[in-house]
A and B are shown apart, each in its own frame.
Chain A
């Protein structure tokens, strides 16, 4: 019982504290322009470009970019919440502690999913005021679920990058690169069938792709059951990236103890 309580405490309280301490962009003066302002202008930019090219509807671009904006929080924050332990010199005490690694690791993902959900919701809300995007109120709960799942898979991906940060020097460079690759490969602004086959194949293995597809169908009026296949695929991708991140973290932890390379910058 006490071990369960300790697990839960570490999961919730530890996750929240680490998010507050290690996510560099939490201050409103950074959070508002970066996490809210930039995604809103991204939505506007690509929606107007889509109108100019007569490519897809406003709704198609709004949903794609709003769901994609949850990846900004998830990928960057996921990377920061692990890699910053090293930069701030708190990694050694953390790994010397007997804390349950699964609770430590999974607890960090909850605030990131909530953050991603919030960022996407703001993007969708502002778009409904400025653009031709008016989803039915009944579709919002399903849309929220799809965005939460997408944020979860992006968080898994971000934690994987963060785990690499236990070894790599400049992991934020990698996070930037991954973020832009997702923008290109995941069918956010270019329909997947307009991409070369190899890009589409990579996109199908990345987080977001299936989530965006599901969200677009839900916003167009489909029931959650009709997009269950896409949502479960996104869940599977989230689990795969999350598990890979956990095992990589454990591996690098063991290796860095063995090679005394924990604090090597």
Chain B
């Protein structure tokens, strides 16, 4: 119960802070809209059979990843700059329970951009949002958001010793958009890319969302997406221990 309370409070607090930041909040929502608009124009002008709804769904999940990648990679750096990292590490709660709500809040900000992208497509481009399996769609969105949040958590822990981690977050944006098949089908990419795609939860998340919306069987994709999210969380928790032990031993928590 205590754990759930901590996660919920942490999520709420960070969600509020991020929502009020012009950079993470406003730009986080606007940024995907620019890319969604480009995608809509490209889909409209080009040939091929995919619908604008296909593009709208892909662009909306791109927004969730964008909101998460940049912010997650700089999450610990931000705490370090604010002087709160040592206090958080010294708190009796497990550090991963402090960090998880931060990245989940970032992914939740992405839901804003997802909704904004779908509404943008509906009202500016006349994209009809017709869902084949509405209930599965409603289930697929939080599972995808949660898994992307877990990937953000793992990313934030992995780059904790890297001084300029925020730059890595920027650099990860396009690669994940590409290899997860948000707008470009994986079959167009070189064969060696596919194993990388399969290891990334957003690949399965967008597949589940698309199959729920356009027709198909999203349950297996959803299960894989959730499973990968759980693996990221477990890996992150194990890594947190190692990183913190090392930072304490070398007295480098606030120096890296």
Q: Which residues of A contact B (CB under 8 A)?
A: 25, 27, 29-30, 33-34, 37-38, 41-42, 44-45, 48-55, 170, 172-173, 176-177, 180-181, 183-184, 189-191, 194-195
Contacts and interface: CB of A to CB of B under 8 A. Distances in A.
B106 to A, nearest CB: 17
A55 B45 contact: yes
Contacts of B189: 48
A173 B30 CA distance: 11
A182 to B, nearest CB: 10
A25 B31 CA distance: 21
A45 B164 contact: no
Nearest to B178: A45
Interface string B30-70: 11001001110111111110100000000000000000000
Interface residues of B, number: 36
A177 B27 contact: yes
A54 B163 CA distance: 41
Which of B34, B50, B188 neighbours the largest number of chain A CB atoms within 10 Å of its CB?
Answer: B34
B118 to A, nearest CB: 19
A30 to B, nearest CB: 4
B67 to A, nearest CB: 14
A49 B42 contact: yes
Contact of B188 (A52, A180, A183, A191): A52
9 closest residue pairs by CB, A with B = A53-B46, A41-B174, A33-B171, A55-B46, A194-B45, A180-B34, A190-B41, A37-B171, A54-B47
5 contacts: A33-B167, A38-B174, A41-B175, A49-B39, A181-B34
Given A189-B42, A190-B42, A33 B168 contact: yes
Contact of A173 (B27, B44, B168): B27
A176 B27 contact: yes
A50 B171 contact: no
Contacts of B191: none
A183 B34 CA distance: 8
